A and B are shown apart, each in its own frame.
Chain A
């Protein structure tokens, strides 16, 4: 239990995917204009990361390792994650239309997102067990959601600002993202007893 907690703190704060490791910046910058859409995207990421971490761990353990194909992790995982998300989307549409309409538009966007793939590869690369790997995927998603929701708040508040023309739009988003990332680097000082 203690180790799971450490994994969670590590994934959410210390090694926050977007802000510390700069993985998965595309949706982070793309759909952070409004808090509403940022939350939707965050939940879609949590959902996909948890699911893909669990499934890829099983695939790695029972298919790749058994047949000595570990070197094919990356390509296999992309295939698995993409197919999995599509499959879940089809099932959700039928079984849970409410959840589908909430996550539906975001799911196809992140099927092959690098943060999702990264969490799957990282969990396995660090030798986590099945439970640990799943928790890592879940909390990495929570970390992503935290980052994107915080950032959308910044962008909403600065939307009306009188920004010099050269900095309007994307440059300003990048500068504010980097400031937010500097805040998160403060967590790297935390040393967890692994």
Chain B
């Protein structure tokens, strides 16, 4: 009886507290319920769930919310491909759209022979570390460091460093965007896979400054703009930019460019070296 007497107060008080808080939370969740779009959960359940960020949103659930709110297209999930796009379109009650395959492209062609060096870099083989030193070892402030931070970020082995510049194998690329986020220079872009050419330069400075630092960089002569029958090229600063929605793959700009900086991307697909080769590249970048 004495045992029961000493046992009773804590048991009773904790039970009362527990029930009280349980009821409180239960009521609160009703009163303060936030109306959620049911379609969000449905969309999340049919997405791959890898949270890769290839759609441009922080994760699958953020993408689902954006789709439900009408801010993102139903075919935005690149990893899921057409089956997922169909499913999402069915949930949203809209017509299914085919997924546009995209691939990354490193917008720099300033290999070690073409781009002038600012200094000899001796340090960690990491683009971020080199970028922290006066914005990189190449004189061009938009040049690829070539130390392979994107190579290590790529889960699919689609990037290799060739001659001091990173090159993407567009066949292997899944457009997950990991390299875009990893590049400290911000010169990797995702472009439509079908679009065959791209200006492989990110430098918007005028010709006088570009010529000093790189033998191939875009000088903003606008020959391509005038030659493009589809009107797909415009200038951003002194840099030619191709609007892939308008480009008809006619190759006129490739032939016309005096610097040869508009490239046919099929030629830039390189065989990715084995891991040992990649390690040698990094070692070479280090010395």
Q: Which residues of A come within 8 Å of B, CB atoms? A: 63, 67-69, 72, 75-76, 79-80, 83, 86-87, 90-91, 93-95, 160-162
Contact = CB atoms under 8 A, between A and B. Distances in A.
Contacts of A161: 124
Given A67-B9, A90-B28, A160 B14 contact: no
8 nearest CB pairs, A to B: A83-B21, A94-B32, A90-B28, A160-B129, A90-B32, A72-B10, A87-B28, A90-B29
Contacts of A93: 32, 34
Nearest to B128: A160
A167 to B, nearest CB: 16
A83 B20 CA distance: 10
Contacts of B13: 63, 67, 69, 72, 76
Given A69-B10, A160-B126, A160-B128, A80 B17 contact: yes
Contacts of A94: 32-34
B34 A79 contact: no
A91 B32 contact: yes
Nearest to B13: A69
A63 B17 CA distance: 11
Interface string B210-229: 00000000000000000000
Contact of B28 (A67, A75, A91): A91
A79 B25 contact: no
- Chain A interface, >50% SS class: helix
Contact of A69 (B9, B29, B128): B9
B130 to A, nearest CB: 10
A94 B17 CA distance: 25
B277 to A, nearest CB: 22
B24 interface: yes
A69 B9 CA distance: 8
Contact of B25 (A67, A75, A90): A90
27 contacts: A67-B9, A68-B9, A69-B9, A69-B13, A72-B10, A72-B14, A76-B14, A79-B14, A79-B18, A79-B21, A83-B21, A83-B25, A86-B25, A87-B25, A90-B28, A90-B32, A91-B28, A93-B32, A94-B32, A94-B33, A95-B32, A160-B124, A160-B126, A160-B128, A160-B129, A161-B124, A162-B124
A72 B13 CA distance: 10
Contacts of B25: 83, 86-87, 90
B13 to A, nearest CB: 6
B84 to A, nearest CB: 26
Contacts of A86: 25
Given A76-B17, A79-B17, A162-B124, A87 B9 contact: no
A95 B21 CA distance: 20
Contacts of B32: 90-91, 93-95
Nearest to B32: A94
Given A72-B10, A87-B24, 5 more contacts: A72-B13, A79-B17, A79-B21, A90-B28, A162-B124
A63 B33 CA distance: 30
A104 B24 CA distance: 20
A77 to B, nearest CB: 11
Interface string B231-245: 000000000000000
Contacts of B29: 90
A75 B124 CA distance: 51
Interface in B1-59: 9-10, 13-14, 17-18, 21, 24-25, 28-29, 32-34
A94 B32 CA distance: 6
Contacts of A68: 9
Interface in B115-171: 124, 126, 128-129
Contacts of B129: 160
Contacts of B10: 69, 72
